[in-house]
């Protein structure tokens, strides 16, 4: 059950179910993986990375799982008491969940990138799109 607030564009940007020729199957929201996460007020010792690959960036989250920053895997080399806020890269690049998978692969390839965070229009983390895990 969903409340449609903000019109159809906002609905699809949130990655919610749609009808039509594209269909949910081809949207990146269906293909993301979960990166390691850590709250912004935490320290390096608080990184939770269950199931995440060590080379993936860690998502730094605020209230409501809003993505505020990213830490590269090298951050694990820092002393465990290091504040996350001090080491993070603020405002990493993101894409919306409704972007079609072909477009994401094309964009990552053109930009020479392995991955990109997927967030809703309001900044909530959906997951991480990893190029090597995406197949048309």
Partner 1 sequence: MSVAPVRLGWWLSSEEHDPRDLVRHARDAEVAGFETAMISDHLRPWVPSQANAAHVWTVLGAIAGATDAMEVGTGVTAMVHRSSPIAIAHAAATAAVMFEGRFFLGVGTGERLNEQAFGRRWPRAGERRERLAEGVGLIRQLCAGENVNHRGRHWAVEDLRLATLPATPPRIFVAAGGKRSAALAGEIGDGMIGVAPDGRLVDVFRSVSPRADAPVVGQLHVSIAADLDAARDDAWRWWPNGVVPPNLLGELARPEEFEAVAEAIGPAGIDKAVLCTTDAAPVIAAIDRFVGAGFDTVYLHQIGPDQARLTAMAADELFAHYASGP
The piece of 7-15, 16-24, 69-77, 95-103 that touches partner 1 (CB under 8 A) is 69-77
User: Considering only residues 2-61, where is the footprint of partner 1 by CB under 8 A?
Assistant: 44, 54-55, 57
Vertex 84 angle, CA 79 and 89, to 5°: 115
Is the CB of 86 or the CB of 135 nearer to partner 1? Answer: 86
Handedness of CA 134, 19, 2, 7 (dihedral sign): positive
CA terminus-to-terminus distance, the chain: 30
User: Considering only residues 84-113, where is the footprint of partner 1 by CB under 8 A?
Assistant: 86-89, 92-93, 111-113
What distance in Å separates the CA atoms of residue 5 and residue 28, rounded to the nearest whole number?
22
Question: Smallest gap, in angstroms, from Cβ of residue 10 to partner 1?
Answer: 28
The piece of 14-22, 76-84, 94-102, 119-127 that touches partner 1 (CB under 8 A) is 76-84
Is residue 62 at the binding interface for partner 1, with CB under 8 A as the rule? no
What distance in Å separates the CA atoms of residue 113 and residue 44, rounded to the nearest whole number?
25
């Amino acid at each position: 059950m969903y409340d449609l607030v903000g019109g159809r564009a906002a609905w699809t940007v949130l990655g919610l179910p749609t009808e039509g020729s594209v269909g949910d199957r081809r949207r990146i929201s269906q293909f993301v993986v979960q990166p390691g996460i850590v709250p912004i007020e935490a320290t390096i010792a608080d990184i939770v990375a269950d199931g995440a690959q060590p080379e993936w960036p860690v998502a730094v989250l605020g209230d409501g799982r809003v993505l505020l920053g990213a830490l590269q895997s090298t951050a694990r080399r820092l002393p465990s008491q290091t504040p996350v806020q001090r080491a993070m890269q603020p405002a990493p690049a993101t894409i919306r969940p409704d972007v079609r998978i072909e477009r994401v692969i094309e964009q990552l390839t053109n930009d020479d990138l392995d991955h990109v965070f997927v967030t809703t229009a309001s900044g909530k983390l959906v997951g991480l799109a990893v190029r090597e895990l995406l197949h048309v």
